């Protein structure tokens, strides 16, 4: 919607100058060096921070940060905490290293991108959307996670937001919907999407959103910053559920959002401050620890996933496999264009439909098998789950079927157990 956001023109200018790049990935060694870091702070398990004197307290309340810490970060932990601030900085570097370098080369004096860590991925999505949404606005939503989908329906039913559920894997659908509904001011996509692993072309979609002054939000959870850095491809806001690959050990729930500094500092941060979707210092510390080896861990997971996907594709009991890194995947070229590799997630259908899928999943519910029957993803432990009755059960059945989330679809998140262990068990589970 033209003229909707006062920060838009400045952001477009910076996007052109600092975000555009032909390098679609941050070099793996640089990535791992940023992750490892050198400054992991001790745990600041504190709710409040003492001021030096009255003038110091008053100055901090208007955003002063005398030692270079994040504005508002040393007042009260709901507003910021050293552990959360550290994690925000690491994520910022991973997603935005090229922006940092370009801005420095241009001698840019003011920040371009802000990074905020939240108590959950859903808190990151809801707070970031609440920063801009108003009754009567339109939002296009691609194939998204069940709770994101139900949040959008909540906005539609309670606050008069027009939500357009669109198949975003075809960017023409986005273009047509933007043209037909001028009140649309944002587009939210996941790529690869959850759970069918269909992909959206971020670069192509960003051309349409820019032409209509609509914010392009990319939920990057399935990739983590390791596999995909959406600012390089034209995204305006990047979202993560850190619960997945950043945690990598299923030890905490957390989220992150990164986006235009002007929008985040003036519109998102006030919602963050007042709604209170703040992570605990301990969870931020844990995620700052687990992110240290994320690239190394993911490299192993993704290599195993690529081999397991091939194994499944050639297995006589498997009907169909969806894995972006497979040559047979209809969007394999897009995967090569925007992802470092095919990722750690696989979706498949077992011959024999729902009942055969249930048999396989119940096999992995047994304690003597290497996976867990569980709904999260990105962990060192492999997880198997049934989207139609679990992660995506909140989506109406008709919409689910239209999106390919059939009752026989099974989702697999590959851990670090190793190819031979996993395929041996899959073979056994499929032969029952």
Ligand X SMILES: Cc1ncc(COP(=O)(O)O)c(C=O)c1O
The nearest distance, CB 28 to ligand X, in angstroms, is 23
In whole angstroms, give the CA distance from residue 52 to residue 47. Answer: 17
The nearest distance, CB 355 to ligand X, in angstroms, is 26
Exposure of 22 by Cβ count < 10 A (0-12 exposed, 13-18 middle, 19+ buried)? exposed
Task: Return the number of the residue (102 or 128) whose C-beta is nearest ligand X.
Answer: 128
**Most distant CA atoms of the chain, gap in Å:** 73
The nearest distance, CB 122 to ligand X, in angstroms, is 4
In whole angstroms, give the CA distance from residue 19 to residue 170. Answer: 24
Measure the N-to-C terminal CA separation of the chain; round to a whole number of Å. Answer: 55
In whole angstroms, give the CA distance from residue 51 to residue 56. Answer: 6
The nearest distance, CB 139 to ligand X, in angstroms, is 16
Task: Return the number of the residue (343 or 429) whose C-beta is nearest ligand X.
Answer: 343
The nearest distance, CB 284 to ligand X, in angstroms, is 14
Those residues with Cβ within 8 angstroms of residue 67's Cβ, 6 or more apart along the chain or in another chain:
none
Task: Return the number of the residue (48 or 389) whose C-beta is nearest ligand X.
Answer: 389
Taking CA atoms, 271 is separated from 79, 124, 238, in Å, by 11, 11, 17
The nearest distance, CB 78 to ligand X, in angstroms, is 18
Task: Return the number of the residue (143 or 206) whose C-beta is nearest ligand X.
Answer: 143
Given the rule CB under 6 A, which residues bind ligand X? 120-122, 145, 148, 190, 194, 219, 221-222, 241, 243, 253, 255
Nearest residue to the partner ligand X, using Cβ: 121
Task: Return the number of the residue (243 or 278) whose C-beta is nearest ligand X.
Answer: 243
Task: Return the number of the residue (103 or 186) whose C-beta is nearest ligand X.
Answer: 186
Task: Return the number of the residue (99 or 242) whose C-beta is nearest ligand X.
Answer: 242
Those residues with Cβ within 8 angstroms of residue 425's Cβ, 6 or more apart along the chain or in another chain:
363, 364, 369, 370, 371
Buried b (16+ CB within 10 A) or exposed e, 211-233: ebbbbbbbbbbbbbbbbbbbbbb
The nearest distance, CB 9 to ligand X, in angstroms, is 30
Task: Return the number of the residue (246 or 312) whose C-beta is nearest ligand X.
Answer: 246
- Determine contact, residues 260/236, Cβ cutoff 8 Å: yes
The nearest distance, CB 127 to ligand X, in angstroms, is 12
């Amino acid at each position: 919607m033209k003229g909707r956001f006062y920060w838009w023109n400045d952001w477009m200018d910076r996007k052109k100058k600092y975000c555009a790049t032909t390098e679609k990935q941050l070099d793996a060694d640089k990535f791992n060096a940023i992750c490892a870091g050198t400054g992991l702070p001790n745990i600041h398990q504190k709710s409040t921070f003492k001021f030096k004197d009255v003038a110091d307290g008053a100055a901090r309340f208007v955003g002063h940060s005398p030692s270079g810490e994040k504005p508002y970060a040393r007042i009260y932990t709901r507003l910021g905490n050293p552990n959360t601030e550290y994690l925000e900085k690491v994520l910022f570097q991973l997603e935005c290293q090229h922006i940092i370098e370009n801005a420095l080369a241009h001698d840019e004096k003011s920040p371009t991108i802000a990074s905020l860590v939240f108590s959950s991925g859903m808190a990151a999505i809801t707070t970031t959307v609440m920063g801009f949404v108003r009754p009567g606005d339109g939002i296009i939503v691609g194939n998204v996670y069940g709770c994101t989908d139900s949040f959008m329906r909540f906005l539609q039913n309670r606050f008069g937001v027009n939500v357009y559920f669109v198949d975003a894997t075809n960017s023409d659908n986005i273009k047509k919907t933007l043209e037909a509904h001028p009140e649309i001011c944002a587009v939210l996509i996941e790529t690869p999407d959850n759970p069918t692993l269909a992909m959206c072309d971020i670069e192509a979609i960003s051309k349409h959103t820019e032409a209509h002054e609509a914010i392009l939000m990319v939920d990057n959870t399935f990739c983590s910053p390791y596999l995909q850095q959406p600012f390089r491809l034209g995204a305006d806001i990047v979202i993560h559920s850190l619960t997945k690959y950043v945690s990598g050990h299923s030890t905490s729930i957390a989220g992150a959002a990164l986006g235009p500094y002007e929008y985040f500092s003036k519109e998102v941060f006030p919602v963050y401050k007042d709604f209170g979707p703040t992570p605990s210092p301990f969870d931020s510390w844990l995620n700052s620890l687990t992110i240290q080896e994320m690239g190394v861990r993911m490299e192993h997971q993704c290599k195993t996933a690529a081999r397991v996907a091939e194994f499944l594709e050639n297995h006589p009991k498997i009907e169909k496999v969806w894995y972006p890194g497979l040559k047979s995947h209809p969007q394999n070229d897009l995967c090569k264009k925007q992802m470092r590799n095919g990722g750690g997630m696989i979706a498949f259908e077992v011959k024999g439909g729902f009942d055969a899928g249930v048999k396989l999943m119940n096999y992995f519910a047994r304690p003597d098998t290497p996976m867990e029957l569980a709904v999260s993803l990105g962990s060192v432990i492999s997880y198997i789950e049934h989207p139609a009755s679990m992660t995506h059960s909140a989506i109406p059945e008709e919409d689910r079927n239209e999106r390919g989330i059939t009752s026989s679809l099974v989702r697999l998140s590959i851990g670090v157990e190793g190819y031979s262990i996993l395929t041996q068990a899959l073979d056994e589970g499929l032969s029952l």
